[in-house]
Amino acid sequence: MRSTVYLIGAGPGAPDLITLRGFRCLQTADVVIFDHMVHPRLLDAAPAAAERIDVGSAAPQPTDQEAICYLLAEKAREGKTVARLKWGDPFLFDHGGEEALFLHEQGIRFEVIPGVPAAIGATAYAGIPITYPGGGDTVTFIRGHEDEGREKAKVDWDSLARLEGTIVCYAGPKQLPKMLDALMSHGRAAEESAAVIVNGTLSSQRTITGTLAELAQTFKDQPVSGAALLIVGKVVNFREHLRWFDSRPLYGRCALVMHSKEQPDDLAELLEAQGAEVIVDTDTKLDIYRQLLDRKIDAVTFTSASAVLSFAANYGVEQASDLLAHTLVATLGPAAADAAGRAGITPAIQLQSGSQASLADAIVAHFRGN
């Protein structure tokens, strides 16, 4: 059977927004070639033995993009099934079309797996329907660019400013203030409603609303960090009625889930479903010690004695209680509570029995009461 390159849209950020088809193709991969904006948890869906290659930015320089194309072809010629994971959708403001054309010219079999674009996913999570009766009959997507070293988007701002529908701009940190100014200077009303979404669909998503003039001033004084979406139009006014993602009880909270070897660890998903940003101790890329020291973690959970012992071994029994002094500690089961006590850790929540769902509910109740 000939090897295949799957150009897979990984979606706008949250790992569970990949399509079922994309997920299944990823499970068959011998090689995973991914952008750095792809959620790291999504890589776990690939076989453990699969080679994983980070090719950096979702908008690489031309020479880097050429190298990526040759890498795809090289791995396919080795007889391997290749999953090319791309942020958002491969054919929307991405180089998926270039990669597909290159593979076609090289005679290499490929498939394109659509993904949820950031412009669709992030606005849905922000409670902004980009189309709505009475909100205009057009939606215009504007390409941004990462920095001044890359080709700038060529936009007819005069024509764009005269449209009555919704405008969605992909914008980097340097481009956002310029786009806001360009819209107003070419005729868009300064008092028109607009929103900026950062880290769309992730637990760290942030949505800032205001008029074009207000947002222009905001982002001149405090530049946005990372990629953002700018939405302009009447539809932004629906956010206060339709917001759901950032109104969940644990939104804005960060929870550390200590991994338990004895049982399936569903607690991370349960806490994420309530809005928390969840990190797990098995993520070696994170400096958990520094985050605890800087009080950036709001809750730490232990569902087994081994999870407590692992924490104490990593950070020292003497330091364990100090690191957790300003953090909600929650344990599930007598073994975890007993191990915490022996490590000098005093849990604020101690469930002697129950499920991980019960523990998640107790954590929600605690923060609702504070």
Instruction: Name the residue ranges covered by the structural domains of the chain.
Output: 5-116, 119-245, 254-368
> What's the whole-number mean pLDDT along residues 122-146?
89
Q: What is the mean pLDDT of residues 311-318?
A: 84
- What is 5-116's CATH number, 3.30.870.10, 3.40.50.12780, 3.40.1010.10, 3.30.1490.190? 3.40.1010.10
The per-residue pLDDT for 48 is 95
Separation between Cα atoms, residue 314 and residue 320, nearest integer Å: 9
Task: Write out pLDDT tens, residues 285-294.
Answer: 678 888 898 9
| CA distances to 35, 70, 105, 116, 169 from 101, in Å | 19, 12, 6, 22, 26
- CATH fold for domain 119-245: 3.30.950
% the chain with pLDDT above 90: 71
Q: Give 147's pLDDT tier (boundaries 50, 70, 90).
A: very low
- CA–CA distance, 52 with 83 (Å, rounded to integer): 10
pLDDT (0 to 100) of residue 146: 46
Q: What angle do CA 111, 114, 117 make, to 5 degrees?
A: 150
Q: Give the pTM.
A: 0.87
Residue 160 has pLDDT above 70, yes or no: yes
Q: What are the tens digits of pLDDT across the range 187-196? A: 999 999 999 9
Mean pLDDT on 71-89: 97
Is the backbone of residue 264 left (phi > 0), alpha (psi -120 to 50) or beta? beta
Q: Which of 93, 99, 139, 81 is nearest to 118 (CA)?
A: 93
Q: Return the bridge partners of 142, or none.
A: 169
Q: What CATH code would you report for 254-368?
A: 3.40.50.10090
> Which of 230, 283, 241, 263 shows the shortest CA–CA distance to 356?
263
pLDDT band at 139 (very low <50, low <70, confident <90, very high): very high
